[in-house]
Amino acid sequence: MTVHGCDTSKYQTPINAVTGWSRGLRFAALRVSIGDYYTDPTLRLHWDLYKAAGFLVTGYMVVAPADSYGRKISAAAHLSRFAPSVVGLKPDLPWVMDSELERGQTRQYITSITKDVALGLNTMQGRMPICYTRQSWWDAWINPDPLWPQLDLWAARYAEGLTGPWSDGNYVFRDWDKWTLWQYTSHGNGPFYGVTSLDLDLDWFNGTEADLYAYAGQIAPISLEQKVATLWREAKIHGWNLEP
């Protein structure tokens, strides 16, 4: 069993989160920041809309080893941009570390700041972040480290007919043998799921809806159908007359 979700940025504005919920989405990851130079202007708007619609919500930081001019960006600088951007926001899921940029930097340097960013996010939340990445990028640009298996994996791979990011035996990660989240397309039907842009990143959580809520440390909400079934069962037990 899997649970459907999405990840968004300013490019999906405006959004109708209620429509997304009605179409089966249950979680959303919202872009927070890139490196030390950018905070997404729609973060708080999207956060409030998705939370109000019932979504489990978190945010993601794009790790940028350098800016587009080649200026190196330290892990401390990343965290100094991210932390004030999320003041007052309480994520339901772990923060997400988006790792897919090299920007002309060395593998050693990219590994070093990625590790320090992960540890910094852990300090902020008291929980290791989720790592979003592609196998072809990660294994090429990040050195092995005992820390990586402690992070839950959000794998990105777009291919038809898969039931998981490496269900065909290809693109198996060096540092993980299981996945928590899987971004399976960047071309989801945006309007169908309540966003303006034609393309939407869509994701699967590896488990049931109850598993997803347990992962968030919460109890899954009871559906209307479950409430009616419970009321009907209690009526039978206690002899209540529920006939109109």
CATH code assigned at 134: 3.20.20.80
Give the pLDDT confidence score for residue 228 in this predicted structure: 56
pLDDT digits (tens, 9 = 90+) for 142-176: 999 999 999 999 999 999 999 999 999 999 999 99
Report the pLDDT value the prediction gives residue 232, as an integer from 0 to 100: 53
Handedness of CA 228, 209, 184, 64 (dihedral sign): positive
| Nearest by Cα to 57 from 101, 96, 87 | 96
pLDDT band with cut points at 50, 70 and 90 for residue 234 = low
Residue 196 belongs to a domain: yes
Residue 58, judged by CB atoms within 10 A of its CB (0-12, 13-18, 19+), counts as buried
Q: Which H helix or E strand runs over 181? A: strand 181-189
Residue 229 clears pLDDT 90, i.e. is over it: no
Percent of the chain with pLDDT over 70: 91
Q: Is residue 244 part of a domain?
A: no
What pLDDT score was predicted for residue 237?
73
Compute the average pLDDT of residues 121-134: 98
Q: What pLDDT is stored for residue 219 in this prediction? A: 86
Distance CA 198, CA 41 (A): 20
Angle of the 75-85 helix axis to the 107-125 helix axis, nearest 10: 30
Query: What would the mean pLDDT of 230-239 be, rounded to a whole number?
Result: 63
Residue indicated by tokens 């839950």 = 152
235 pLDDT tier (thresholds 50, 70, 90): low
Asked whether residue 123 carries a pLDDT value surpassing 70, the answer given is: yes
Enumerate the β-bridge partners of residue 153: 131
> What value does the mean pLDDT of the chain take?
94
| 100 part of a folded domain | yes
* The predicted structure's pLDDT at residue 196: 94
Residue 244 has pLDDT above 80, yes or no: no
pLDDT tens-digit readout, 20-59: 999 999 999 999 999 999 999 999 999 999 999 999 999 9
Write out the H or E segment, with its range, that includes residue 228: helix 224-238
Question: Strand, helix or coil at 28?
Answer: strand
Give the percent of the chain with pLDDT over 90: 89
Q: Is position 47 within any domain?
A: yes
State residue 220's pLDDT score: 78
Straight-line distance from the first to the last Cα atom of the chain, in angstroms, rounded to the nearest whole number: 38
CA 67 to chain CA mean position, Å: 24
| The model's pTM | 0.91
Q: How many structural domains comprise the chain? A: 1
State the average pLDDT over residues 227-232: 54
Give the residue-averaged pLDDT of 2-7.
97
Domain that holds residue 54: 2-207
| 8 Å CB contact between 108 and 143 | yes
User: Would 127 be classed as within a structural domain?
Assistant: yes
The reply to whether 229 falls in a domain is no
161/168 Cα distance (integer angstroms): 9
> Rounded CA gap, 95 and 231, in Å?
38
Residue 197 lies in a domain: yes
CA distances from residue 147 to 101, 141, 193 in whole angstroms, order as listed: 20, 16, 36
* pLDDT tens-place string over residues 5-17: 999 999 999 999 9
Residue 149 lies in a domain: yes
Average pLDDT over residues 107-128: 98
* CB of 34 closer than 8 Å to CB of 78: no
